[in-house]
Amino acid sequence: MEAILARRSIRRYTNKPVPDDVVGDLLRAAMSAPSAYNEQPWHFVVIRDREVLDKIPEFHPHTQMLHEAPLAILVCCDQNLKKTDWFWPQDCAAATENILIAVQAKGLGAVWCGVYPRQELMDGMRRLLGLPEHITPFSLVAVGYPAEEKPPANRYDESRVHYDRW
């Protein structure tokens, strides 16, 4: 519960690199997400190349933090792996959230930057990273050691809870 309740969107990072074993843990967490029909339609692109990270904000206006972040993970759907057209966005969202929780548990910071369903953002990621046509970029998670601190936010709202009926 601590990692979930303390998690905040972090947009400022130190220049300390994220070790390979930590990146591996983040990817293991992502791939442990629930998946409809156990499709697991995901692929992940780990981006560390400074030149690539700096180009993303040229077409994605909400990714300026990538100029500081030492790492980003692009969560994608392999359209050839899915059995239905319905649930892959939920599967990829669950994988993205697992990355965010694992980041918090590891003492790192991250922010979820949406890509899907905005065509211009998906096309930009496809062009920059050379993604095949059957790969749909879903979300981009900027990751690094935080250069800012944010206190936990209490977002629980009892008025949004309904029991048995509306």
Is the residue at 82 inside a domain? yes
Q: Would you state the structure tokens that stand for residue 164, as one six-digit string?
A: 């048995």
Please give the Cα distance from 166 to 162 (Å, whole number). 6
Domain count, the chain: 1
Please give the Cα distance from 35 to 91 (Å, whole number). 5
Domain hosting residue 85, numbered range: 2-148
Closest alpha carbon to 65 in 152, 141, 150, 153: 141
Is the residue at 26 inside a domain? yes
Residue 83 has pLDDT above 90, yes or no: no
Q: Show the DSSP H helices in 7-131 as ranges.
A: 20-31, 50-55, 88-105, 119-129
Is the residue at 88 inside a domain? yes
Per-residue pLDDT tens over the stretch 116-165: 999 999 999 999 999 999 999 999 999 999 999 999 999 999 999 999 99
CB under 8 Å to 52, separation ≥6 — which residues?
A: 128, 129
Q: Would you state the structure tokens that stand for residue 82, as one six-digit string?
A: 């899915």
CATH number at residue 125: 3.40.109.10
Is the residue at 161 inside a domain? no
Is the residue at 158 inside a domain? no
Q: How confident is the model at residue 6 (pLDDT cuts 50, 70, 90)?
A: very high
Is the residue at 156 inside a domain? no
CA distances (Å), origin 22, targets 19, 48, 71 = 5, 14, 11
Is the residue at 129 inside a domain? yes
Is the residue at 153 inside a domain? no
Per-residue pLDDT tens over the stretch 25-73: 999 999 999 999 999 999 999 999 999 999 999 999 999 999 999 999 9
